[in-house]
Amino acid sequence: MALRPARTKWFETYVPREQTVRATGVLADTGVVQLELDPRLDEMPDLERLRFFLDRFAALAEEHGEDLPTGVAHPTALVGDSAHIANQALHRLRIWSARVDFIREHLAQLRAEREHLLLLKECLEAMQPAGADLDGVFRETRFLCKCLFACPHGHEIAPELRGVVERVAHGPRHAFLYFVGAPEQRDLVGRLVAETECEQVGIPPWLSGDHARQKQMLLAQLALKTHELAGFETHLSKLRKDADMARARANAETLRWYLEHAAHTLGERKLCHVTGWTTCADPQRLSQALHEAGIEAMVRFPDAPGGDAAPVALLDAWWARPFQPLLRMWGTPGGSEVDPSGLLAVVVPLLFGYMFPDIGHGLVLLLFATIFAKRWPHIRFLIPCGLSAMLFGLVFGDVFGFDNLVPALWLKPLDQPLAVMAVALVFGAALMLLGLAFSGVAAAWRGELRSWLWLDGALLLIYAGTLLGLFLPAAFWLVALGLPQYFVGTLVIERNPRALPGAAGRLLLSSFELAMNTLSFARVGAFALGHAALSLALMTLASGIEHPLAVALVLVLGNLFSLVLEGLVVYVQTTRLVLFEFFTRFLHEEGKPFQPLRRPGVTKL
């Protein structure tokens, strides 16, 4: 159960004119939309800046088409200014593309190095049967030119050079030609090789030793390069699926759709501009609902119109809904106030049941509300109130005024009236403390906790200390701490000693109000005693009548009178206690209620 009302966001959609009615119905089915006209209808996004960012996005995206993550197949929701969103998408693409370019270049280098290692491995395996040793053939000499070439099968060269020693080794994919000659023969051999697809094979300096050692070192280098390649390919694969880049691309595609369809056709009335408030936490929910209905529309979440307060959505659970009319009597909490809707579902039945404790009367109220709730939805609050009355009827042992049919789980009210009154006062004090605490929570949400702790926090300390001191005298020290805190806080906040007399007056007034509000809950115990007294009077009256039918008539009419009169009075008193004793501590009715759009004929119960 959330204490803070749900905040709403401003949204707008561009819907094909012929699909506007259907789109409105789809939005109504979501249950999270309130339509409202946009006073800024003539205010259009900066199309030139938007086009500037989108053109650069498209140019850069074209260079990375095969790696760019796929966006979405339909327009998505956009939160914020359109040009800013396009700039963000371009920024994201630039960062992403730089990482992709780096990885691609590194992969190309690693693949070339790996191919060279594979070529060396093939050469090593081919030259061993031919009696040639890689380490030996490339051992440096002063008077000889040594060259090793790899030629794909079918592209071998057959030079006829004087004074050149030639040796050929055949591998699975290449023929390896080894030439040894005078230094002046180097250029001639190079020209012959250049005319074919052969390539010169370079031997790295680390490849030394005998054949077994060379093979071992080659395999180790191949394993290392393969591992590095796998790591970078995995990284590239992740970039191809990057969710942030996919959203950026989807946003750019949506804004491109807006430029091509909405920006110029709105003035031609080809698209309708549907605006309002929504409570949906996921911005994609509205666009997804429209897409699933076959309506291609763009959903944006720009800044709300200036000066227009956003409505707040209160707790809408089925068990809290019957008590919302009670809250609406007082007003709607603001976005930085506590929503007591869920708490009312507990407080109201407890107060009602304690003041009207009767199993029989509670059962009648429960049955009445259950039967007629569909016709009069507003009486559904009587269902939990009737259950509470039955519960307290068990506690006090009362059924239609008969106090001897069911044993009391606790006590008979008229036997111990002070205990009945004391419980009501304790409940009232706890509710007052909760209201003061709620005001502190709201102050924290508004960023005013420091001021609240100095003043209202001191008042809470004084009130709690006074209540506890009645049972534990040592708790009066809390009062002694709260009083100087209040006046020091006044000096800290006001920075003027002249504010102290006014602060003393406000403290005295607040203390008096708290005392009176707390004592008001004595009526809860008084009405419980009043119900017991009225039941006793009814039973006494019935016991003085001899005729059985007359007794039954007196009991029926008396209980009916008690049910109607006490039910109305108890409801009024419950409402008064909640509104004027509890709500005054923390509610300032600063909010505007969120009223979701619903299809015709759909009633919210």
Q: pLDDT (tens digit, 9 = 90+) per residue, 502-527?
A: 999 999 999 999 999 999 999 999 99
On the question of pLDDT at 188 being above 90, the answer is no
Q: Report the share of the chain in percent with pLDDT over 90.
A: 40
Is the pLDDT score of 104 beyond 60? yes
pLDDT at site 158: 60
Q: Is the pLDDT of residue 303 over 70?
A: yes
State the DSSP H helix or E strand holding residue 375, giving kind and residue range, or none if neither: none
Q: What is the pLDDT of residue 199?
A: 79
| pLDDT for res 213 | 82
Quote the Cα angle for 598-601-605, to 5°: 70
DSSP 8-23: -EEEEEEEEGGGHHHH
Nearest to 355 by CA among 569, 103, 75: 569
* pLDDT on residue 71: 58
Q: Which amino acid is at 551?
A: V
Lowest mean pLDDT among 65-79, 487-501, 524-538: 65-79
DSSP category for residue 473: G
Burial degree of 115 (CB within 10 A; 0-12, 13-18, 19+)? exposed
**How far apart are the C-alpha atoms of 461 and 177, rounded to whole Å?**
97
| Rounded Cα distance, 142 and 220, in Å | 33
Which of 353, 359, 354, 355 has its CA nearest to residue 400? 359
pLDDT given at position 392? 96
Strands 298-301 and 77-79: parallel
The mean per-residue pLDDT over the stretch 361-378 comes to 93
Phi, psi of 11 (to 5 degrees): -135, 160
Query: pLDDT for 562-600, tens place per residue?
Result: 999 999 999 999 999 999 999 999 998 778 888 888 765
pTM beyond 0.75: the answer is: no
Does the pLDDT at position 263 exceed 60? no
Mean pLDDT calculated for residue range 378-395:
95
pLDDT of 42 strictly over 60: no
Cα(391)–Cα(183) distance, rounded to whole angstroms?
112
Angle between helices 522-543 and 417-446 (to 10 degrees): 150
Does the pLDDT of residue 185 top 70, yes or no?
no
Average of per-residue pLDDT values in the chain = 84
Give burial (CB, 10 Å; 0-12/13-18/19+) of 148: buried
Q: How confident is the model at residue 2 (pLDDT cuts 50, 70, 90)?
A: confident
Considering only CA atoms, which of 522, 536, 558 is closest in space to residue 397? Answer: 536
Q: How many residues are given for the chain?
A: 605
pLDDT tens per residue across span 123-173 = 888 877 756 666 555 555 554 567 777 888 776 666 555 545 567 777 888
